[in-house]
Amino acid sequence: MDEILQWLIGQLKLLGDIFVYLLPAVPATVEVTILSFALALAVGVVVGTVRVARIRIVSPLARVYTDVVRGVPLLVLIFFIYFGLGGVLNLGRLTAGVIALGVCYGAYIAEIFRAGILSIPQGQYEAALSLGMTRKQAFRHVIIPQALRMVIPPVANEFIACLKDSSLVSVIAMREITRAGREYFSRTFADFQVWLVVAILYLILTLTLSRLVSYMEKKFKMRGYGVAA
């Protein structure tokens, strides 16, 4: 009995140790995720709109972008941008990581946003035009605001996926949660315990994010849309 208690205390102490070691890396994970996703949102909304609007030259380019980026593994993208372009453009770790994640998720958000725009009834567009708005004005004041509200749930999911994928920047030696975990592990070989704490940390972050997103969904829901108005 005594032995089991000793072992338990030892384990808890180890877990606490790991937790303390990993905690300073959490802000880095959060920072990468937020910066990347902000970039992804900006890119996604623009590219999604361009794809729908069928503008000469630009729209086909947008199509190429979304196809290519979604067809390449994110890890490869990160390597390419950091080691490949990084030398030429002298991109720092955070910059390269943010660009890679932002460009990658931008493509997915573009597709989601495109679907969101297409889901807005044609009548909305016609009503805007009939009031004398130009195409640009109709998009800006009528279509896009509605599409943005429409896509909040799928975009929120992408945000959480982005948080988890931020772990990939550990390969360019950026100090975030996963890399810190691997460092601790390689110093002590406490494998199971390390990954347990890493998983818990990510879980805390994703759950917090989910709650935040639910809150936002409620706040921005258009009255009268969806199943539960």
Partner 1 sequence: MPLMILVLTGCGADDELSTLDRIERDGVLRIGTDATYIPFEYVSTETGQPEGYDIDLITRVCSELGVEPEFTVSPFDGIIAGLTTFKYDCVISAMTITANRAERVAFTRPYYNAGQTIAVTLDNDVIHGVDDLKGKRLGVQMGTTGMHLADSFEDVEVFPFDHIGAAFIDLENGHVDAVINDKPVTQIAVKEKGTIKIVGETLTSESYGIAVRKTDTLLLNRLNLILNELDNEGFFDELQKKWF
Partner 2 sequence: MIRDIISCQNVCRSFGEQKALDDVSFKVQKGEKIVIVGPSGAGKSTLLRCINALEDIDSGSIAIDEVVLDRTHKDIAKVRSEVGFVFQHFHLFPHLSVLGNITLAQRVVRKRSPDESDTFATELLERFGLTGKAQSYPSELSGGQSQRAAICRAMALNPKILLFDEATSALDPESMSDVVEVMNFLAKDGITLLIVTHELSVARQVADRVMFMDEGRIEAIGPVDEILVNPQNQRVKDFLAKVLA
| Choices 6-14, 46-54, 140-148, 167-175 (CB under 8 A): range interacting with partner 2 | 140-148
Judge contact between 143 and 100, C-beta under 8 A. no
What CA–CA distance (Å, rounded) separates 141 from 166? 34
Q: Does 179 bind partner 1 (CB under 8 A)?
A: yes
- Residue 41: Cβ within 10 Å count: 19
CB of 40 to partner 1, least distance (A): 24
Among 53, 63, 93, 221, binds partner 1 (CB under 8 A): 93
Q: Which of 113, 105, 102 is nearest to 50 (CA)?
A: 113
Which residue, 87 or 123, has its beta carbon nearer to partner 2?
A: 123
Tell me which of 171, 200, 209, 213 binds partner 1, using CB under 8 A.
171
215 binds partner 1 (CB under 8 A): no
State which residue, 32 or 117, has the beta carbon closest to partner 1: 32
Asked if 143 and 125 count as a contact pair (C-beta separation under 8 A), the reply is: yes
Residue 150 is encoded by which pair of tokens? 């429409």
As a whole number of angstroms, the distance between CA 99 and CA 78 comes to: 8
Residues lying near partner 1 in the complex (CB under 8 A):
83, 86-87, 90, 92-93, 171-173, 179, 182-183, 185-187, 189, 191
